[in-house]
Amino acid sequence: MNPDDFFEVLAAELDRYADVPTDVLEEIVTRDGACMWLYANDSEPEWTGDDLTDRELAARICAGCPVRRECLELEFRTAGPVTLGVWGALCEEDRRAVYPIWLARRSNSPEQDGGPSS
Ligand code: SF4
């Protein structure tokens, strides 16, 4: 699958969260996110941005996270494409590629909580 196809598929996968309220997504990601667990337990993450690219860091941090899609949906709703670092298992560059596709899909949907303005 080429990168453009991957971004399309990823944006489409987020459609399932369109009706999930933002506060519910926040609760899910805060409770179940792999990186949240690391910080909550005071264990220093082994990874740093010093030696790895953001894409490598995303793969390492988020690989086993059970809420990758929820995290990405939440990030798009609350911060858009402009945040730095790794969220939703994607580096900045990849999020910027997916965001306009996600936005277009939501803009073409009936009004719902998961729209761009919620
Ligand atoms: S997807 Fe990555 S950034 Fe998001 S909660 Fe999971 S580990 Fe953290």
In a domain, 117, yes or no: no
Residues 101-116 have a mean pLDDT of 74
**Cα-to-chain-centroid distance, residue 39:** 18
Q: What is the pLDDT of residue 11?
A: 96
Averaged confidence pLDDT in the chain: 83
- Rounded Cα gap, residues 2 and 46, in angstroms: 31
Q: What is the pLDDT of residues 43-98, one digit of tens each?
A: 555 555 566 676 777 777 788 899 999 999 999 999 998 888 888 988 889 999 99
Count the neighbouring beta carbons within 10 Å of the beta carbon of residue 77: 22
Number of domains in the chain: 1
Q: What is the pLDDT of residue 71?
A: 96
Here the tokens at position 35 are 């990186």
Q: Which residue has the tokens 């459609």?
A: 15
Q: How confident is the model at residue 117 (pLDDT cuts 50, 70, 90)?
A: very low
Residue 91 CB less than 6 A away from ligand 1: no
Q: What is the pLDDT of residue 56?
A: 77
In a domain, 114, yes or no: no
In a domain, 118, yes or no: no
Cβ atoms of 70 and 29 within 8 Å: the answer is yes
**What domain range includes position 42?**
3-106
The larger pLDDT score, comparing residue 74 to residue 36, is at 74
In a domain, 10, yes or no: yes
In a domain, 62, yes or no: yes
Distance 90 CA to ligand 1 centre (A): 9
- Rounded Cα gap, residues 86 and 109, in angstroms: 27
pLDDT at 115 over 80: no
Residue 34 CB less than 6 A away from ligand 1: yes
Cβ atoms of 68 and 89 within 8 Å: the answer is yes
